[in-house]
Amino acid sequence: MAVSPDPVEKLSETKSRLSLGFPIGSDPGLAGSRELGIVYQRGEGRSLPVPTIYVIATDGTITFSYVHPDYSVRLDSGVLIAAANAAGSRE
């Protein structure tokens, strides 16, 4: 699942345009992002979420997190796959 600061109306178009096969939640007021402590100020009065990845096991435990303020710096997919596999093997 992904979470976006975009409103629900825009997410349908984004999901279709990018052919995404997973659900996207909407957090336009950044309440969830603020709760997680992953919001930064950009310019006057403009807040954005920090790009973040969580791997959550079926018991609700966060088993891996990756937070990087520069959206252009991407996590190596092999690291993410290994973290997901490790979370899945906890069951």
pLDDT score at 91:
58
CATH 3.40.30.10 fits 2-88, yes or no: yes
The two tokens of residue 88 are 């899945």
Q: How is the chain split into domains, by residue range?
A: 2-88
CB-CB contact of 2 with 32 (8 Å) = no
Report how far residue 21's alpha carbon sits from residue 15's, in angstroms, rounded to the nearest whole number.
8
pTM for this entry? 0.78
Which pLDDT score is estimated for 19?
93
DSSP annotation of 8 reads H
- The b/e string for 51-86 (b: 16+ C-beta within 10 A; e otherwise) is beeebebeeeeeebebeeeeeeeeeeeeeeeebeee
pLDDT higher than threshold 90 for residue 71? no
